[in-house]
Structure 1
Amino acid sequence: MNKNKQKVIAILTALTFVLLAGCTDNKAAETPKTPEKQVETQAQGNQATTENNKEEQLQDGHENEADLKTFISKEGGFSLVQPEMWNDNVAPIEGKNAEMKAEWETSFHILVDGKVDKESSALMTITKMTKANYEAMAKEEGPTMGDKLGENDKFVWVMTTPQANPYEEKSDEFKKFNDMMLDFEFVKKNFKINN
């Protein structure tokens, strides 16, 4: 009888080991065994993270500094570091604006079929005006004239943006216009008054 008990115990013990081995997690088998494969897997993970970051930067307008270009307006007296997404998509139109009592005005428009769309609203406009004109306009009733980007002893620079997207909602231009918009904080951070 003792021999039968020993056989049963041995069989049950063996079955227990087999069951436990079958139920264990095979994660070790899934992990790459060679250092090259581990490095490759890590690189793929890093690449996905980099692509996600780039996508966030594109949406936000904040890209790698090496990709940024600086727009300089001699008459406007300022420079603006603009995002890479504006390259070949946005262009300025400059001139005087008597209605705003501006010394100089720079409007940034999207390009449609490679040409500046002058007939449509600008993505944003930077207006240079004398301090006296700025203060007089600030006292007038009505809509605000925009956000102040900077000032010196003689002039004030103001940024204005459109109230709405000027293009039809389902058009490519509508999406492009929305994609190219910059927020005030980005512009203020990248705006510099030239001496």
Structure 2
Amino acid sequence: MKKQFAKKIPYLVLAGFICAVGIGAPQISLAKQANSVPEMVNQQSEKTLQIIEIGQKIGVPELKLKENTYVLDYKISDVTGDSVKDQVILVGTKEKIDGKLDAYASNLSVIVQDGKTYRYDKYDWVYEGTDGKLYGELGREPNLIIGDYTGNKVNDIITTAPQGGNGGYVDHLILTWEGNKLKDVLAKDVVADNQELYTNSQANFSLKLPASWKGYYKASQYAGASANKIIPLAKHVVQFDYTTKDRKDAEMLLMISVFSKNDWSRLSSEQGPSVGSVITEANGMVYVYTTPQSNPFDPQSKDGKLFDQLYGDLNIGKSFKLLK
């Protein structure tokens, strides 16, 4: 299945990594649907938050969902800001191919059932095709991440839609609750100046990249043994490289590494150059950033001047956030 238009936030991943690896978090497997289709969940307007299961059909009479709409992911979290947990449900339509449900889901939508009022609100994720028409977003095993991305102390909803294929990219939708309904964060310019949002749910952090970085960097992420090869004892490593216009040269702008607290204590006590500076500590993990010691290009060259600009535009303290 192909889309006519690649849009929103490009999520650059290491060449050869498939989207499931690029996302990092364990993706929801729909393989169990191959042999049988779970019974339909019929969300009635009762005063309760009903039990939802991933992979089941879902029907909400007042939302008039299509018959072949399935639950793709599901979270319980307060996203309305009233201190009462809400239901956040990612849904999409699926078709059968050779008797099995397609791994791709189309017509992606996010549904929130308010935990206090039990009222439903649905946001349809659409994109504009090259023909100017609007189409429902699709993705291969899309998922939800909950976290405060706007900094207003209320959880927002980020939806990832992997597109598959070698070097596949990931589309993102970020929703916030405003005016008693869901609104697109990017559409309302909460992420200012066209900043790009990098998320890594496996390493549990996000990073708002400066607008000036767009088109001049690539992000490569490593985990486990691959990360350990780059920096000993690291559990995760994400490297952001400046790329020249001809794409023939790349130099590190920023590296973020994640260590267990014990491993970081051991590593930081060793003699020699420091690995980097601590950004924060959380849940027994230490997040460290490393920047270049000098400009790898001639400072008077075009690449040298641009490298200095991009480096100077980065504010790691303001742009880095842990996911919830």
TM-score (norm 1): 0.59
Secondary structure of residue in 2 paired with 1:145: coil
TM-score (norm 2): 0.37
Q: 2:210 aligns with which of 53, 69, 83?
A: 83
Q: 1:106 aligns with which of 227, 238, 248?
A: 238
Q: 1:138 aligns with which of 254, 261, 268?
A: 268
Larger relative helix fraction: 1
Once the two structures are superposed, the pairs formed by residues 29-108 of structure 1 within 5 Å of their partners are 65-95=192-222, 96-98=227-229, 99-108=231-240
Distance (Å, rounded) in 1 between the aligned partners of 2:248 and 2:321 = 25
Residue 117 of structure 1 and its aligned partner are, at CA, apart by: 3.6
Distance (Å, rounded) in 1 between the aligned partners of 2:286 and 2:265 = 10
Q: Which has the higher contact order (CA 8 A, sep 6+)?
A: 1
Give structure 2 stretches of 5+ with no counterpart: 1-190
Residue 183 of structure 1 and its aligned partner are, at CA, apart by: 6.8
Give structure 1 stretches of 5+ with no counterpart: 1-63
Q: RMSD of the TM alignment (CA)?
A: 2.1
Tell me which amino acid in the other structure corresponds to 1:132. N
**How many corresponding residue pairs?**
129
Can you list the C-alpha shifts for 1:122-170, whole angstroms capped at 9, x where unaligned?
1111101111110101211222221111111221110111111111333
Partner of 1:50: none
Q: Judge conservation of contact 2:255–2:290 (CA < 8 Å) in 1.
A: yes
Larger relative strand fraction: 2
Structure 1 ranges of 4+ moved more than 6 A = none
1:165 maps to 2:292: no
Residue 88 of structure 1 and its aligned partner are, at CA, apart by: 1.1
Structure 1 residues 183 and 66, CA, compared in 2 at 3 Å: closer, same or farther? Answer: closer
Structure 1 residues 154 and 180, CA, compared in 2 at 3 Å: closer, same or farther? Answer: same
Distance (Å, rounded) in 2 between the aligned partners of 1:187 and 1:103 = 20
Secondary structure of residue in 1 paired with 2:235: strand
Higher alpha-carbon Rg: 1
Residue 194 of structure 1 and its aligned partner are, at CA, apart by: 1.6
